[in-house]
């Protein structure tokens, strides 16, 4: 190992520098993290560091820190511990999407976080927004749900089927639309609801039972039936 390599390895695991680089990401600090291979070290306690920083990162993402999005993308690609940290992973996904979405929120995020249930009331109606029309389901995907959706009653089997429709790439697409609405929709009440939905969708295992997700699938079903009658 060269002198330069030794220096970089030593700096990469220094707790003080690690915290400085992670706390308020900039394009320069992200470049340093990549240079020092911070997330490729054998056993740094990075999970604890990241868990501690999540609230701060959430606020930075809402304020439009695009460098944070780049940092989290790098973490996701190079950090082995992420595979075993489901809660951290879901939070980082939301934060990355928010940070990468242009705009700044115009409401106090803490209020939504502390009163999530209240802001989720009637939030399933956001599935009716035209912005969500970019999320599509093929006819073959929706067809097995036809009977239950027509009679407005989903069996447990149908809910499990709906859960499987929300693959990772589709979940990310939906979260991206919600992030755009959170930061850019002209009605502040809708912005709040979109952010509340993002928080409520942290657990990927509950999407099949989430009212917003069920309504989104139902909307595509009725859209498909309407097109056939025209």
Q: CA 36, CA 13: separation in Å to the nearest integer?
A: 9
Q: By C-alpha distance, which of 95, 14, 17 is closest to 59?
A: 95
What pLDDT shows up at residue 44? Answer: 55
Interacting residues of 155 by C-beta distance below 8 A, sequence separation 6+: 148
Instruction: Give 48's pLDDT tier (boundaries 50, 70, 90).
Output: confident
Residue 84 is given by DSSP the state G
Q: Taking the C-alpha atoms of 202, 208, 211 and 214 in order, what is their torsion angle to the nearest 10 degrees?
A: 130
pTM for the full predicted model:
0.88
Is the pLDDT higher at 10 or at 11? 11
Q: pLDDT grade, residue 13 (50/70/90)?
A: low
Predicted pLDDT of residue 9: 47
Q: What is the pLDDT of residue 6?
A: 43
77 or 216, which is more confident: 216
Q: How confident is the model at residue 12 (pLDDT cuts 50, 70, 90)?
A: very low
Q: Helices 15-23 & 46-62, crossing angle to 10 degrees?
A: 20
**Start-to-end Cα distance in the chain:** 70
34 or 169, greater pLDDT: 169
Q: Which of 32-36, 53-57, 91-95 bottoms out in mean pLDDT, i.e. has the lowest?
A: 32-36
pLDDT, tens only, 123-149: 999 999 999 999 999 989 999 999 998
Per-residue pLDDT reduced to its tens digit, 149-190: 898 889 999 999 999 999 999 999 999 999 999 999 999 999
CA distance linking residue 89 with residue 121, whole number of Å: 26
User: Of 10-14, 168-172, 226-230, which has the strongest mean pLDDT?
Assistant: 168-172
pLDDT of 204 > 50? The answer is: yes
Mean pLDDT of the chain: 87
Q: Which of 3-17, 57-71, 158-172, 214-228 has the lowest mean pLDDT?
A: 3-17
Q: Give the pLDDT confidence score for residue 80 in this predicted structure.
A: 60
With 90 as the cut, is the pLDDT of residue 66 above it?
yes
Number of helices (H) and strands (E) in the chain: give both, helices first: 14, 0
Q: Counting beta carbons within 10 angstroms of the beta carbon of residue 99, is it exposed (0 to 12), middle (13 to 18) or buried (19 or more)?
A: buried
pLDDT at 177: 98
For the chain, the structural domain boundaries read 1-100, 107-230
CA atoms within 13 A on the CB side of 228: 7
């Amino acid at each position: 190992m060269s002198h330069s390599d030794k220096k970089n390895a030593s700096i990469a695991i220094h707790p003080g520098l690690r915290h400085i680089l992670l706390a308020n990401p900039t394009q320069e600090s992200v470049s340093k993290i990549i240079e020092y291979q911070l997330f490729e070290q054998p056993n740094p306690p990075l999970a604890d560091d990241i868990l501690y920083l999540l609230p701060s990162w959430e606020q930075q993402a809402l304020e439009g820190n695009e460098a944070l999005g780049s940092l989290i993308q790098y973490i996701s690609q190079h950090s082995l511990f992420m595979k075993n940290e489901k809660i951290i992973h879901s939070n980082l996904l939301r934060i990355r999407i928010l940070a990468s979405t242009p705009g700044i929120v115009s409401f106090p995020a803490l209020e939504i976080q502390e009163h999530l249930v209240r802001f989720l009331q009637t939030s399933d109606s956001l599935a009716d927004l035209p912005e969500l029309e970019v999320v599509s389901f093929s006819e073959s995907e929706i067809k097995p749900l036809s009977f239950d959706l027509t009679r407005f009653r989903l069996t447990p089997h149908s809910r499990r089927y709906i859960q499987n429709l929300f693959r990772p790439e589709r979940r990310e697409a939906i979260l991206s639309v919600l992030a755009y609405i959170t930061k850019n929709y002209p009605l502040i009440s809708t912005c709040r609801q979109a952010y509340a939905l993002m928080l409520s969708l942290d657990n990927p295992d509950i999407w099949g039972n989430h009212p917003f997700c069920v309504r989104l699938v139902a909307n595509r079903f009725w859209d498909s039936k309407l097109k056939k009658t025209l």
